Structure 1
Amino acid sequence: MTHRTDSTYSEVRAGMAIDWDVPIQMDDGLILRADVFRPIAPGQYPVLLSYGPYAKGLAFQEGYPSAWQKMVSDHPDVPHGSSNLFQNWEVVDPEKWVPDGYVCVRVDSRGCGRSPGYVDHFSPRETDDYVACIEWAGQQGWSNGKVGLSGVSYFGINQWQVASRQPKHLSAMCIWEGAADWYRDMTHHGGILSTFWDHWYDMQVKTVQYGVGERGPKSPATGAWVCGDVTLSDSELAANRCQFGQDILSHPEDDAYHRERSAQWDKITVPFLSAGNWGGQGLHLRGNSESFMRAASKHKWLEMHGLEHWTHFYTDYGIQIQKRFFAHFLKGEANGWDQEPPVRLQVRHPHRFEERTDSSWPLPQTQWTKMYLSAHDQSLSEQPSATQGRLSFQAMGDGLSFVSAPLSHDMELTGPLAAQLKMSSSTADADVFLVLRVLTPDLREVTFAGAIDPHTPVAQGWLRASHRALDAELTRPYRPYHTHTQAQPLTPGQAVTLDVELWPTSIVIPAGHRLALSVRGRDYIYAEKTGLKLSNFKNELLGCGPFLHNDPRDRPHGLFGGETTLHFDADEQPYLLLPVIPRGRSQ
């Protein structure tokens, strides 16, 4: 049975009632388009809604073939039980949710897919649209009035912004590997520009902008043009979108542009499940743990896992957790979720994961342990070195590494990390890149399958020396919090103290292995060449995935290309602060 009205039509297919290209009118008169997947039986059901730029009609398999092929090859439970015809990048498969009594709504965001308009990602205008879509979904005849938000990455990031508005019908959120602070989590790591968003815009947004029309793909489910029924010229397309990379570059400090695109923690009161990835260094990690610590919600849970950042959203493991959470808050089921421990961790070992639960984050049993950097032999030790001195390196080079003795027993590190350095520069600024590494007894590095890159180190941190000012209220010993509101140039040759945040991690390091801290002047590199690429990223995967800091406009050689010197004084020894979980005390 099919009923058509222009591009909007309804049909019964694959055990679902599907409404294609449903119009949702915004307050400025613009019409956004949504696909709605519903149970066939009449009734009122909870809604799972997503709003984003990746084109609701673009098949996962066509738009992201390398990611899809690896996921279904490694995890056969993902495609099992579904025709996979409606698989879409980073949102739920309706064939696995509609039979459980949910309505799944996918909205093409303004200017993307089949929704016209001006593209301006994460802007207040987008958040206004998202609020309107939530309220629309909560008032439809097939809705029980409870709307849950769901999705990975972009579809998680914008949940924090819209939750800050407290829409009436918003009842629960599952943020799977999102981010929350537009400045610290996403565009400027430690004040250093991340080039990710500029390249992402080229590869994943411009390719599905509304108006690409007949130059773009067709939906395998409907045969409709994924990017709208009109075909615009390149100049017309450019006029309908912001200059995203340039906009970010133009805001080097944490100003109003960044704050209006970031979470407002005191206004987020909706129940949520925040799922992060240990390998998500550079995007999909910090915001997940920060949200658990800072959001005002009384009902909140943190889950942390590994592997590629989209994988567990689709595996049976991830779906079961999501369904228990949403069933409790959207259906009112007494399924025991309210007794679920607040923290669920997939604790990482070199070749496996061990599931464990806990009561809070950071973990209450954490033994905060300082390991000191030595100028004498470049060691890393729990005992401060008596040696004073200085060590220098090229400011945009590979820097120095400090290595521990072989561990006498297994050591678990789970939680946030920090380091304190004393440094000077021959110029008025310097960027510091910290990399926590694990080495085998024969000094080979142990890396991990990251959210994007298959050779990801244990943890990373970044700081621009001129952005060293701390927010005294928000800073914790284990998580320095920098203001990033006013640069403080260095006086060449004069040492300053840097407190550097390293993003959270989890690793059980086997006995005989060593810890190493690299203090670098550029991004971590696992290998100069790997030959590894994903279809949706420009660069070869060399250890940091697409999360690089190599824009010469942000790091001009004249300012950042001098010499960096680490200072080791008797009264101020540089150190690394580790979240050691004692043996026998983990739950």
Structure 2
Amino acid sequence: MSEREFTVIENEWIRLKDGTELAARIWMPAGTEADPVPAVLEYLPYRKQGGTSLRDESTYPVFAAAGIAGVRVDIRGSGESEGVIDGEYTPRELSDGCEIVEWIAAQPWSNGKVGMMGISWGGFNCLQVAALKPPALKAVISIASTVDRYNDDIHYKNGCHLSAQLSWAATMLGYQSRSPDPAIVGDRWKQMWMERLEKEPFFMEEWLEHQRRDEFWQHGSICEDFDRVGIPALVIAGWADGYRNTPLKAVEGLGDKAKALIGPWVHKYPHFAFPKPRADFHGEAIRWWNRWLRDEENGAENGPQVRAYILDGPRPSLRRDSDPGRWVAKDAWATPEMQLFGISHDGRLTPSAGGTGIGEVYLKSPLDTGTASGEYFTLKPDAEMAGDQRIDDAGSLTFETAPLLDAADYLGQPTLTVDVTCQEPTANLAVRLVDVHPDGTATRVAFGVLNLSHRDGNAQPRAMEPGRKTRITLTLDACGYRFRAGNRIRVSLSTSYWPLILPTPTDPGLSIDTASLSLALPLLGAHREIAVPEPENPDPLPKYRELTRGISSRTVERDMTHGMTHYRIYEDTGLSEHPDTGLATQDIRDETWSIAPDDPSSMIGTSTWTCVAKREGWSVRTVSTSTLHCTKSEWITEAEVVAYEGETRIFEKHFKKRIPRDFM
């Protein structure tokens, strides 16, 4: 098929039933008067101008050249769209999404069939909108998303409180404080901006009011009823990202409607993600859209249910540009056969259904154990990825195999079962699966965390009975991994994994019955090796004018005088100018987490975002600071937003709330 000419509509207003106008950027193939086309919607709160424009401009021109319109819409209250955002994946957001699908299908240039796609927020809401069954929505591509908002997003994980919850609330407070662009909305830009600043919520407050898996989290979690999603879904993720579980959970829940693709990647689209190898996302997507939006008989539905990259012993490093491994396919996904390991009398991890162990071991990790854990969702293949695990293993209870005589391949979610005794109502337990190289370097393969009061489920936590031995089973995140011959498999247990998870109110430690410990690893099983095409263009992102260079830094400071550990993240995108619009933007994140290794109530996190937008004769800036600290009984949140027009402060707002802790 020859490539079509196309035009870019920089802004189109989509009027909703309540009169609110949402801003859309559309890549429109030529010739739609005679040959209407399918369309793909991406629906986000990150600004189509100066926000996601780089990645949008790497993909939607390719779609348009293939005869598929691309429609990139700013969620209500973001970018140039009217109104004020009311939360994350709210009923109103999803209802608006259904209206947008309906609007697209009704346009004269549309063939009436719409696809929806996105990464992260857009990957979430495309699955959630699909569950609402708008008639014109025929297929989705969901990247780095979740089917379970409570357990597989940035909020909570098996009852443990993720630090990413504050990080993301701070990010959204910064993002939603940004001004609309006067070049698009005209003179009303300031009125729209002030309405946002005055009415935008601080998401953290609502999230902390729902520390259990209640109706708030069930909303939008398609795992509550997979049958509500009746259309095909291509679900993609990367092993280096926090959303690595979703593709396998999707095929388990959606069955033949879903296809899974899992690469080595961080939280990015596969055609420009690291670590390499990349995947030809454009080719994959166009084939998917042509099958379901054009009824082209191209066999997209007949491919393997799961394609996964099996990592082959990558080593932690300052930057992982490329990971060794191979692509495999499983035509039909089934529950993996598990290989069991126990603890021998001499403390070795050994293949067996049980072991004698070394008796009971008391474990109480320093509260700053976990500084090599990396970011929950990674955007770069550097210090955001998990580092050498020897740092964290020093504060952990570890068991490892003898050097392997043969390589061992795994794909799926490992589990660990163990009897523990706790003297308080709850404690955290973190478990890591580690690949130990012959020189001692240790690569994290998978991890799992559990708040022990959530051992029987997340809807109704149940306090541990002090002094009573209790069996717990912890499911780790999915992995696709080969342990090479000569390497060792290590399992590491710790009662802290900071700053990835935050401490419980007390720090009692745990007694571990090593004889009961059983590690189950999911064998790769029957498969075939395949090739996954890489993109033809090795550098697909457009280039903008760099006015100031970006900076990235991640440091750990242990203050030996005052007994505090500080973990600091500093990310400056630099100031860059779009060559066509002249809009220059810059975002700066400055975040610090601090804790005393022996005092859980000393924990504090502070994240400041500075967001700048300017063009000749106009400049705006917001500075938002979000803080989370705690007592034994309360979470304490504070935030402020300050806005500037030029150098004049024009707005200031403060938030503060104390929220009772619920087994956390």
TM range (shorter): 0.7 to 0.9
Residue 145 of structure 1 is aligned with which of 102, 112, 116? 112
Q: Write the distance in 2 (CA, Å) between the matches of 1:361 and 1:144.
A: 34
Per the alignment, do residues 189 and 380 of structure 1 end up closer, same or farther by CA in structure 2, a change over 3 Å counting?
farther
Check the 8 A contact 1:277/1:284 in 2, yes or no. yes
Residue 206 of structure 2 is aligned with which of 232, 243, 247? 247
CA-based RMSD: 2.6
Q: Write the distance in 2 (CA, Å) between the matches of 1:240 and 1:492.
A: 46
Per the alignment, do residues 251 and 115 of structure 1 end up closer, same or farther by CA in structure 2, a change over 3 Å counting?
same
Residue 229 of structure 1 is aligned with which of 189, 214, 218? 189
Check the 8 A contact 2:329/2:529 in 1, yes or no. no
1:338 aligns with 2:301: yes
Q: Write the distance in 2 (CA, Å) between the matches of 1:582 and 1:316.
A: 24
1:238: Cα distance to partner?
4.5
Runs of 4+ in 1 over 4 A off after TM superposition: 223-228, 231-234, 313-316, 582-587
1:105 aligns with 2:71: yes
Per the alignment, do residues 443 and 190 of structure 1 end up closer, same or farther by CA in structure 2, a change over 3 Å counting?
same
Residue 60 of structure 2 is aligned with which of 89, 94, 105? 94
1:118: Cα distance to partner?
2.5
1:15: Cα distance to partner?
4.5
- What's 1:40 paired with? 30
C-alpha offsets along residues 230-281 of structure 1, whole Å, 9 cap, x if unaligned?
Answer: 26677x544422221121111111101111131131201101111121222x
Residue 237 of structure 2 is aligned with which of 256, 260, 276? 276
Per the alignment, do residues 240 and 458 of structure 1 end up closer, same or farther by CA in structure 2, a change over 3 Å counting?
same
Check the 8 A contact 1:210/1:228 in 2, yes or no. no
1:360 aligns with 2:332: yes
Superposition map of 1:302-321 within 5 A: 302-314=260-272, 317-321=280-284
Q: Write the distance in 2 (CA, Å) between the matches of 1:59 and 1:313.
A: 19
Amino acid at match of 1:287: T
The structure, 1 or 2, with the larger RCO (C-alpha pairs under 8 Å, 6+ apart) is 1
- What's 1:548 paired with? 500
Report SS of the residue matched to 2:270. Answer: helix
Q: Write the distance in 2 (CA, Å) between the matches of 1:458 and 1:227.
A: 53
C-alpha offsets along residues 48-83 of structure 1, whole Å, 9 cap, x if unaligned?
Answer: 1011111011255xxxxxxxxxxxxxxxxxxxxxxx
Report SS of the residue matched to 2:24. Answer: strand
Per the alignment, do residues 57 and 276 of structure 1 end up closer, same or farther by CA in structure 2, a change over 3 Å counting?
same
Residue 513 of structure 1 is aligned with which of 472, 475, 487? 487
Check the 8 A contact 1:56/1:226 in 2, yes or no. no
Report SS of the residue matched to 2:413. Answer: strand
- What's 1:55 paired with? 47
Check the 8 A contact 1:212/1:231 in 2, yes or no. no
Report SS of the residue matched to 2:262. Answer: strand
Residue 567 of structure 1 is aligned with which of 513, 516, 522? 513
Q: Write the distance in 2 (CA, Å) between the matches of 1:585 and 1:130.
A: 39
Q: Write the distance in 2 (CA, Å) between the matches of 1:189 and 1:512.
A: 34
1:227: Cα distance to partner?
13
Report SS of the residue matched to 2:288. Answer: helix
Residue 467 of structure 1 is aligned with which of 447, 454, 472? 454
Q: Write the distance in 2 (CA, Å) between the matches of 1:584 and 1:276.
A: 20
- What's 2:658 paired with? none
Q: Write the distance in 1 (CA, Å) between the matches of 2:291 and 2:188.
A: 38
Check the 8 A contact 1:292/1:301 in 2, yes or no. yes
- What's 1:532 paired with? none
C-alpha offsets along residues 315-342 of structure 1, whole Å, 9 cap, x if unaligned?
Answer: 6622222221111111121222232122
TM-score by length of 2: 0.68
State percent identity of aligned pairs.
22
- What's 1:539 paired with? none
Amino acid at match of 1:286: N
Q: Write the distance in 1 (CA, Å) between the matches of 2:151 and 2:476.
A: 12
Residue 445 of structure 2 is aligned with which of 441, 448, 458? 458
Amino acid at match of 2:283: Q
- What's 2:287 paired with? 324
C-alpha offsets along residues 433-484 of structure 1, whole Å, 9 cap, x if unaligned?
Answer: 11111001232113xxxxxxxxxx2111111111111xxxxxxxxxxxxx31
Residue 416 of structure 1 is aligned with which of 387, 392, 413? 413
Residue 83 of structure 2 is aligned with which of 94, 100, 117? 117
1:292 aligns with 2:251: yes
Per the alignment, do residues 568 and 148 of structure 1 end up closer, same or farther by CA in structure 2, a change over 3 Å counting?
same
C-alpha offsets along residues 23-48 of structure 1, whole Å, 9 cap, x if unaligned?
Answer: 22223322211111101223310101
Amino acid at match of 1:348: L
Per the alignment, do residues 182 and 239 of structure 1 end up closer, same or farther by CA in structure 2, a change over 3 Å counting?
farther
Per the alignment, do residues 87 and 372 of structure 1 end up closer, same or farther by CA in structure 2, a change over 3 Å counting?
same
Q: Write the distance in 1 (CA, Å) between the matches of 2:186 and 2:525.
A: 53
Q: Write the distance in 2 (CA, Å) between the matches of 1:394 and 1:308.
A: 32
Amino acid at match of 2:41: L
Q: Write the distance in 1 (CA, Å) between the matches of 2:472 and 2:434.
A: 20
Q: Write the distance in 2 (CA, Å) between the matches of 1:132 and 1:332.
A: 24
Q: Write the distance in 2 (CA, Å) between the matches of 1:294 and 1:358.
A: 16
Check the 8 A contact 2:119/2:145 in 1, yes or no. yes
Check the 8 A contact 2:431/2:493 in 1, yes or no. yes
Residue 404 of structure 1 is aligned with which of 396, 401, 404? 401
C-alpha offsets along residues 329-358 of structure 1, whole Å, 9 cap, x if unaligned?
Answer: 111212222321222122221242312211
1:213: Cα distance to partner?
3.9
Check the 8 A contact 1:269/1:298 in 2, yes or no. no
Per the alignment, do residues 274 and 387 of structure 1 end up closer, same or farther by CA in structure 2, a change over 3 Å counting?
closer
1:413: Cα distance to partner?
1.0
Q: Write the distance in 1 (CA, Å) between the matches of 2:328 and 2:349.
A: 32
Q: Write the distance in 2 (CA, Å) between the matches of 1:227 and 1:498.
A: 60
User: Structure 2: 5+ residue runs without aligned partners?
Assistant: 273-277, 314-322, 370-394, 531-664
Report SS of the residue matched to 1:323. Answer: helix
Per the alignment, do residues 338 and 232 of structure 1 end up closer, same or farther by CA in structure 2, a change over 3 Å counting?
closer
Q: Write the distance in 2 (CA, Å) between the matches of 1:385 and 1:227.
A: 73
Check the 8 A contact 1:172/1:329 in 2, yes or no. yes
Per the alignment, do residues 399 and 116 of structure 1 end up closer, same or farther by CA in structure 2, a change over 3 Å counting?
same
Per the alignment, do residues 388 and 288 of structure 1 end up closer, same or farther by CA in structure 2, a change over 3 Å counting?
same
C-alpha offsets along residues 92-148 of structure 1, whole Å, 9 cap, x if unaligned?
Answer: 622211000010001100111111222211111111111111111111111111111
Per the alignment, do residues 196 and 444 of structure 1 end up closer, same or farther by CA in structure 2, a change over 3 Å counting?
same
1:387: Cα distance to partner?
4.0
1:385 aligns with 2:359: no
Report SS of the residue matched to 2:476. Answer: strand
Residue 469 of structure 2 is aligned with which of 472, 480, 495? 495
- What's 2:520 paired with? 577
1:224: Cα distance to partner?
4.5
Check the 8 A contact 2:158/2:451 in 1, yes or no. yes
Amino acid at match of 1:201: A
Check the 8 A contact 1:375/1:568 in 2, yes or no. no
Report SS of the residue matched to 1:197. Answer: helix
1:374: Cα distance to partner?
4.6
TM-score by length of 1: 0.76
Report SS of the residue matched to 1:200. Answer: helix
Check the 8 A contact 1:113/1:226 in 2, yes or no. no
User: Structure 1: 5+ residue runs without aligned partners?
Assistant: 1-13, 61-85, 447-456, 470-482, 525-546
Q: Write the distance in 1 (CA, Å) between the matches of 2:426 and 2:147.
A: 28
Figure out how many residues of one structure are paired with residues of the other and give that number: 480
Amino acid at match of 1:51: Y
- What's 1:22 paired with? 12
More strand by share: 2
